[in-house]
Structure 1
Amino acid sequence: MTQDVKGAADLDMLAIVETLAERYRTGVGGRTHWLTYHLKKGHVTEFGEALIEALASCESRLPQLGERLVDDLINTGYTPTAQDPAAWRAGFQQLLQKFAEILVLRVLLEAPWPEGVQFRHEPANPTTGRRPELAVEFEERVYLFEVKCPSLVDHQAARGANARQIPARSALGDALRASPDPNDPVTWPRDNVLKDFLESAEGKFSGFSDKKTIGVLVVIWDAYVYEPISALNYHRSGLLTEHSFHQVNGVRVPFDAVDGVIVMNHLAVLHAGAQEQGHAHRPGYFRLDHVDGGLPNVWCQNLGGKQLDAFVMSALDAIPAEDADPAEYRPHEYIMWINLPD
């Protein structure tokens, strides 16, 4: 690319950035809304700049996608905390879900796909009518992506308060449930949330195309990634194992259309950025680059699932779960939290 062409491209991107920022300001009018502080004209915050650049990147690669995402942000309901704290938390969780979608869409659209692929945002599945987040269609195959971000507010509070945690279903967990100790509560697994996510992705991926289809569920979590990994990969009950706890008439539900799950440890980054509390463990709010020593994302492959292309794994900053060494990535049956004195 010559300097003149590059300069013109930069100017085009700047124009898209300002157009999308103004679309948000016009859409919310004079109301206090989630991003009015971050996108205030003349005083855009670091987080607001990162967000609008991500939206502009989506718009430049798939026209009207950035505009649609801005409209989604405008339509994400805002209730002041003082008026209704529960409604505020619910709205903030919806906002984080939208941030997660923007992050993943931006990363996927910027990935080095081969020439000639076609992108479709939320295409309708001709069989089920359900809509995955993104389809990337080759001549001979198609990638399908679905993005999920759970509400972890209550779970995080329990995790911080309880000395004992059961990340995956097990005989020990069953015993603790059978004889609960009200003076020593337990933080239970969020495996039903993962089950619901897999069911949703299955309905969006199954029967989508006659071509070879690779279905990828992307789940955004906080730094405690052993929780979803345990729910998915724990050998005695994990949803992606032959001994899955989710069965019908004694037979494992296979989620055949879902080839695997990317567990992305980016939720704390988005949460902290939106509340101007720093970058957490990654310097980019809407990128997946991380500082030296940062923890990558992981790929949990389903039984019989297809492998991802190496460039897709790289773009998603993911490694196979079985190749991850730190304890944060290993399935756990039981955890005892010990609060040491200062």
Structure 2
Amino acid sequence: MTAQEFGAFLTLALDELEKTGWHYFSFHFFNGPRPFARSIIKACGSINDRAAGMGTALFRELLSIGGIDRHQPHYEQLMQKLAEILVIERIVTSDWPEGTTFEQEPCAFPGGPRPELLVTFPGGRLVVEVKTPSMLNHVRQRHANGAQLAYRGVLTPDDARRTVGQDGLTLPRDYPVRDFLADADRKFAGFRDGNTASLLVVVWDDFIYEPISILANQRSGLLTPNTFERDDNDEPRTYPNLDAVIVLRHLNYFVEGAAERDIMDRKEAMEFGEAQALPNVFFDVSGIARIPAHVIERLRAYSHVDPGLLAMAEYNIQDVVFWI
């Protein structure tokens, strides 16, 4: 990114934030800009380099989320928008062949649902949806309670509460994950053909065992035959328009970067880390290897049953977690 391009983004930020009013990130842009703001500008500029104007559009959307002092739903929306920017930047800057085009919020038919991104490349297409759960209340519960159910079915909530006593119990976030799968499947339906791959990217925090356990545990996992989600005929709910799910452990980098605290294995909040940084997780859904390998590599995702991942405790399915 040239100094002129960076300056144009910064000028845009200052102008748009004046219109928006109170914004969680105003301090970062009006004072320096701070490293957190610079990382956002660089990510959006990188998107523009491969998809003209897309990075600027995402940047404007981010700057518009505000106007009410310390309104927590706006904070959750900002996390979602940062996740979209992060994922789109990684995908559009992947190793695509000449002639590849990118479309933000494509529509398969007039008035149809819009996923985040459509990549059209010689010989095929990739459609992408990005989801981020609302985590503030869940994080507070995790910190306050003495135990956690990672997925449903290992104990009933009543049995678990009797086990933990007065220490408190945090329940799994399985309904949001279920809704992410269903919404992505719905959005991808209009794009589904023999040449189009579909990818749902879920951006979580450091507690990566939570989505892994919800998706893959053999008692009730959403991507297993024993899923707790059933159709009208009491058959396991499936997602025929979805090829794969990738879960990124990155929300904590947004939070720590915005707070200007040290970010473990990253230099900046929007930076993806070197090869040795903490990995992300890939789940095959369709059983058909449609997702381009360079995209999976670009998102640094490994199969949830990869022996290297299973050697790390936080990448294993957990049953009940007791906090000391």
- Tell me the TM-score normalized by structure 1: 0.86
Distance (Å, rounded) in 2 between the aligned partners of 1:212 and 1:159 = 42
Counterpart of 2:245 in structure 1 is: 261
Q: Does 1:25 align with 2:8?
A: no
Q: Does 1:63 align with 2:52?
A: yes
* 1:170–1:237 contact (8 Å) kept in structure 2: yes
Distance 1:80 1:174, change over 3 A: closer
The answer to which of 283-292 and 319-328 deviates more is 283-292
Indicate which of 292, 295, 314 corresponds to 1:312: 295
* 1:261–1:299 contact (8 Å) kept in structure 2: yes
Q: Does 1:156 align with 2:139?
A: yes
Distance (Å, rounded) in 1 between the aligned partners of 2:69 and 2:157 = 41
Indicate which of 2, 23, 28 corresponds to 1:38: 28
For the residue of structure 2 that corresponds to 1:120, the secondary structure is: strand
* 2:142–2:148 contact (8 Å) kept in structure 1: yes
Distance (Å, rounded) in 1 between the aligned partners of 2:164 and 2:249 = 32
* 2:51–2:101 contact (8 Å) kept in structure 1: no
The alignment-based identity, stated in percent, is 33
Q: How does 1:89-168 map to 2 (within 5 A)?
A: 89-126=72-109, 129-168=112-151
* 2:161–2:168 contact (8 Å) kept in structure 1: no
* 1:283–1:290 contact (8 Å) kept in structure 2: no
Measured against aligned partners, the alpha-carbon deviations of 1:1-28 in whole angstroms (never above 9, x if no partner) come to xxxxxxxxx5xx3322221221121122
Distance (Å, rounded) in 2 between the aligned partners of 1:171 and 1:104 = 33
Question: Which runs of 5 or more residues in structure 2 are unaligned?
Answer: none
Distance (Å, rounded) in 2 between the aligned partners of 1:96 and 1:169 = 26
Q: How does 1:249-328 map to 2 (within 5 A)?
A: 249-290=233-274, 292=276, 294-323=277-306, 324-325=309-310, 326-328=312-314
Distance (Å, rounded) in 2 between the aligned partners of 1:304 and 1:162 = 38
Indicate which of 161, 175, 180 corresponds to 1:192: 175
- Tell me the TM-score normalized by structure 2: 0.91
Measure how far apart 1:51 and its partner are: 0.8
* 2:192–2:241 contact (8 Å) kept in structure 1: no
Paired residue type of 1:265: R
Measured against aligned partners, the alpha-carbon deviations of 1:138-196 in whole angstroms (never above 9, x if no partner) come to 23321111111111111111112222211111141355279697724211110101001
Indicate which of 28, 39, 42 corresponds to 1:50: 39
The answer to which of 327-336 and 219-228 deviates more is 327-336
For the residue of structure 2 that corresponds to 1:243, the secondary structure is: coil
* 2:217–2:224 contact (8 Å) kept in structure 1: yes
* 2:145–2:168 contact (8 Å) kept in structure 1: yes
For the residue of structure 1 that corresponds to 2:77, the secondary structure is: helix
Counterpart of 2:61 in structure 1 is: 72
Distance 1:305 1:254, change over 3 A: farther
* 1:273–1:285 contact (8 Å) kept in structure 2: yes
The answer to which of 306-315 and 242-251 deviates more is 306-315
For the residue of structure 1 that corresponds to 2:119, the secondary structure is: strand
Counterpart of 1:205 in structure 2 is: 188
Distance (Å, rounded) in 1 between the aligned partners of 2:161 and 2:25 = 46
Say what the alpha-carbon RMSD is for the aligned residues. Answer: 2.2
* 2:149–2:321 contact (8 Å) kept in structure 1: yes
For the residue of structure 2 that corresponds to 1:231, the secondary structure is: helix
* 2:206–2:250 contact (8 Å) kept in structure 1: yes
Distance 1:291 1:260, change over 3 A: closer
Distance (Å, rounded) in 2 between the aligned partners of 1:193 and 1:39 = 32
Measure how far apart 1:100 and its partner are: 0.8
Distance (Å, rounded) in 2 between the aligned partners of 1:112 and 1:312 = 8
Post-superposition, which runs of at least 4 consecutive aligned residues in structure 1 deviate over 4 A?
177-182
For the residue of structure 1 that corresponds to 2:25, the secondary structure is: coil
Distance (Å, rounded) in 1 between the aligned partners of 2:104 and 2:291 = 20
Distance (Å, rounded) in 1 between the aligned partners of 2:265 and 2:143 = 19
Paired residue type of 1:66: G
For the residue of structure 1 that corresponds to 2:283, the secondary structure is: strand
* 2:243–2:287 contact (8 Å) kept in structure 1: yes
For the residue of structure 1 that corresponds to 2:166, the secondary structure is: coil
Distance (Å, rounded) in 2 between the aligned partners of 1:259 and 1:307 = 7
Counterpart of 1:7 in structure 2 is: none
Number of equivalences: 319
Question: Which runs of 5 or more residues in structure 1 are unaligned?
Answer: 1-9, 82-87
Paired residue type of 1:223: D
Measure how far apart 1:277 and its partner are: 1.9
Distance 1:101 1:140, change over 3 A: same
